[in-house]
Structure formats: C-alpha cells, structure tokens
Chains A and B, each alone.
Chain A
C-alpha cells in the first residue's frame, strides 16, 4: 500500500508498527478525502491533539515535588535518559484512521503471537495516523465533511487544547462549562489552579 499520492504529504514516519503521515494543514481536507475515497479509510477512530510545550526541557529527576522550588507540574519536570527529538511546532493534531476489512483471521500467518496489538510484524496497513503541526493560535480545517464523527472530537480539541477547527458549524465547548477560561489539557494550564470556594479562611 502506498501513501505517495496523498495530497499535501510532507513526511511518512514508521514507528512501533504504525504509519504516520505528516500533512500540510492547508491541504488537510483534501488529504483526508483522498484517504477516505481512494484508500478506503472510511472510519475515523479518533482525533487527538497533543501539546508539546516544554518538550525535552531538562528538569530534575524524580517524582515528588517539594516546597523548595521543584515544580512537579512544570513541563518536563522529570529526568531523561536522553533529550527527546525536537518537534517542529507546538501542537500536533493526530487523526487515527481505520480501514474496515473483514477477516484478518487466518489470512496472515503471524510469526509469533502478538501479545500486544501491533507489536509483532510489519506496520499494519489497516490503520494510519494523519498528523498536522500547528503553532499556538493556528486553526485547523474541519474534517466534519469527510467524517461526520469528527464533530465532537473537534469540539473536544477546541475545549481541551484550544485548537479551533475552521469551518465547524457548531464549535463550542463540550466538556467544560460554556464560560470556562483556558484550555485544561494545555501544558501551561496549572494543576490545582482552581480557587477553593468554601474554605475556612473566608
């Protein structure tokens, strides 16, 4: 199976038996339509935004935070065996696609029993991850026209990570309250930053 013809393809990565197609955000809808119609990826499993703020920043090793300045919640507050490879931009949007095909059973003679999905053998041609890279404030085109199931996933990405899907007809918060300030899954969103309303001091 070749992903050569995907419009806007920047890079193809193979790791852990999974294929990642890095795509130009401007041509995302085109790429997704091609994947759905030409390569039969009719099923959108998941949309995952990831925030890489502070990725690879050196921090003290260990788990417990202290009162003397070691910040447990700071991005990268942990020791590395080696500094991870730099990322091109702050945010990644990952679209996990699936091709529905019947009867894997008996067709492939697996060399060893895969105790973990996808651990043994070649990259699964049945799944692919489409990845686009974004800076803070960038929007991503909505794929709701390609897969209607993207509706809530894109709302969740906006709510949790602050990545707006352009062209989404109903883009509003989904898990947090409508008047919530901030996007909780961003790395710069504090843990425990919410004021306690009925404390003894009041």
Chain B
C-alpha cells in the first residue's frame, strides 16, 4: 500500500462533496449567500478559468468550476494530421510542460511502432524533461507567490526561467514548444556548447533555490497564508485521481519516474520528496524539493550522457540525413513519402503515462494502421487537479481560495485541450 501508516490523518473521513464530487453546494438553510463570478478573466486563474463561488461573509460555502474557455480541439486536430505533423500539437496544450507532453505523445507512437531509441536520445530526453520540470515549477512558484502578494518572487523566478529557456533555445532553436523529440529519437543532434551551458546552470541554480527558500520557507506571512490551507487527505487525493506534487504533498509516495520507470530514470539516483500535511505549504515545499532533485538528475545525465546516434536508423519512420538527399534516390523517396504521406503506424491501442511536472500525463493512442492517428486522448493532470478544487476549498476564506487554486498548479491550456 502506498500510504505510509505512521502518517497523521489530515482530517477524519472524507471531504469530497456528495453527490457531485466536483460541486460544492451551500447548505439549504444558510442565509445571506452571495454568488460571485470569479473569472473567467482574472489575473490569478492561471489562464481562463471561471469559478462560481458562493460566499457567506468571507467564507466560501459553494463552488463550481466552469472550464472550456480554451478548448481548441487539439485531439480532433491531431486526427487530421499525420503522426509526424501531429507532434507539433502536443506541446502546445500545456505550454509550461511542453517537453513532457511532446514526450508522452512520441512515446505512444514509438510504443506502437516498436522502435528502439538510441541511448543518447534516451538520456537527452531525460535531461530535457527535468529541465522542463524546473521551468514549470519556476513559473508555478513565481505566479503562486505573486498571487499571495510576494511580487518579488515573480521576477526572481522568471529570471531563472529565462536561463532555462535559453538552454531550450540552444538545443531546439526555439524557446518554447521546441518540437525536439520525434519518433525514433531527437530531431537534431545536440549542439556544441549545450552541455557546458547546462552544467553552468546546474552549478548556479541550487544557490538560486536557496534564495527562494530564504525568502519564503520560514517567512511569517508566507506560513500564515499557506499552512493548513487547501487540505486534501491521502484517501481523498487517490479517490479524486490526483497525481504528481498534489498527491505526494498528501503523503502518498508515488512517482511514475521511480515506480513505472521509463527513459533513463532506472539508472539515475534521485529521491522522491513526500510531505504529509496535504496543504498549500507542503505543495510549495514539495515543488521546491523537486527542483533540487531535478538538478541532481540533470547533473547525472550530463555525466552519463552516451555518445553515438541521436535518432534510430529506420528509414521507414525517420527522415534520412539531409546530405543523402543529393546523392541517393532511395533517400529522396523516403524523405518525400514521410513528409507527404507520413509513416504508417501498426494497428493497435496504447496508453502511455509519464510523470509530467503536474502529475500523471497520459496519452492514449489508437491506430488503424494508416498514417494518421485514429484517436488521440490526453489524460491531463491539470484537468483532474481542478476536480479537487471543491474538496480543497471547502470552508476556506475567499482570499485563501486563490492560494489554494494556485497550489493545484493547473494550466488551462491543458485542462481544455
């Protein structure tokens, strides 16, 4: 069983509202209830989220989350594109954890293709996923602190985040949505100078995290605004399908990187931080710890980075090297067929789950044997995290609601897809 037995109970029983688990309704005999529309456009909704909040004085007694304002039909669009072209869509859903989304989709395609990925690509993917985790947690920390009033943190975090984006730019040419992974490996070889820059970042970043912690961890206002708020017990978190930092801050020791190892994670040495109290403060502590662990993982990736090919040598799936197009008819045909018609993926259905910065990010992929996905469905951890809002917010003050919703770390692009 995943739940540690000695862990103190966060609260007795369950707090999930009934009969609708995501809908908090005020008691029928409660008078003077004011219904307020929070969002869809509000600086602290992390995108376009609308919460219909029932207030009794300053107490939140009712809550309904309305989503869908950013729905753009990613899944439908991906069905119309070849596998090769649909890669571009995946990172644009969760625009903070773009590499993670991209990897989940590419891994699903690779699983159906049964294609072997060369070690260098495996390790490089691991490295980039961890950099991406740092990137996502930095934005969460910056904006989360901003919402509670610690404006300075936003600038410090975005400063470090820019550093990470510089690394992405170095490796993929763009700062976000790099589209650097593709079925079989990486889109291009790792550019010269990347590893040096990355090492430099790893050397400097822990001191930066120390600075964040100096500003927040023991600060009185921060403690009062975060401790004991947004409670979610381990059992409720599991029942509500919570994953990632929200689940681990509720005391459940579960991390797909360790428990369902993929990429190079089985060979790496890292800890999975777990906190017992299930409140906003523990979610904060947990994400900060995860950033430290990510730095450790990146350092190990840099040390263990194998050489050799960066993409599989499978001409039916992978684009041939550019220089061959001028001399080899065969390569030219392969290139033409992959770009126009796309590669065909064997019939079947798979579900691939990875640990994105927000939790279990799953990609269900169904192929009919043709060059376009028959069905793509993403299990968005933010979507599920929002389901816990009603449980977490129950009984809190309206000002704390902002901290609580923020602590769930939702990205609306991913929620609405």
Contact = CB atoms under 8 A, between A and B. Distances in A.
Interface of A: 15-16, 18, 20, 42-46, 48, 50-52, 55-56, 61-64, 72-73, 76, 78-82, 84-85, 94, 96, 98, 100-105, 110, 113-119, 124, 126-127, 129, 144, 147-149, 151-152, 160, 169-170, 173-177, 184-185, 189, 191
Contact of A151 (B258, B344, B347, B387): B387
Secondary structure at chain A's binding surface: helix, strand, loop or mixed? loop
A52 B366 CA distance: 10
Contact of B260 (A43, A48, A124): A124
24 contacts: A16-B111, A16-B112, A42-B239, A46-B351, A48-B364, A50-B375, A55-B368, A55-B374, A78-B370, A79-B370, A79-B371, A80-B368, A94-B349, A96-B351, A96-B364, A102-B1, A105-B261, A105-B266, A116-B352, A127-B353, A160-B75, A170-B20, A176-B68, A177-B68
A115 B117 contact: yes
Given A46-B377, A63-B340, A169-B20, A117 B262 contact: yes
A103 to B, nearest CB: 7
Given A81-B344, A169-B20, A45 B379 contact: yes
Q: Most chain-B Cβ atoms within 10 A of its Cβ — which of A72, A84, A118, A148? A: A148
B22 A175 contact: no
A110 B364 CA distance: 24
Given A16-B111, A46-B362, A191-B80, A117 B369 contact: no
Contact of A118 (B21, B252, B352): B352
A84 B259 CA distance: 34
Contact of B372 (A78, A118, A176): A78
Interface in B231-264: 238-241, 252-254, 258-264
A114 B2 contact: no
A88 B360 CA distance: 31
Contact of A48 (B117, B254, B372, B377): B377
A9 to B, nearest CB: 18
B342 interface: yes
A45 B348 contact: no
A152 B352 contact: no
Q: Most chain-B Cβ atoms within 10 A of its Cβ — which of A82, A103, A151? A: A151
A173 B66 CA distance: 10
Contacts of B366: 50
Given A46-B364, A62-B340, A127-B353, 18 more contacts: A15-B349, A45-B362, A46-B351, A46-B377, A50-B374, A79-B341, A82-B369, A98-B353, A100-B1, A100-B252, A100-B254, A115-B110, A147-B239, A147-B241, A148-B21, A149-B384, A152-B383, A175-B68
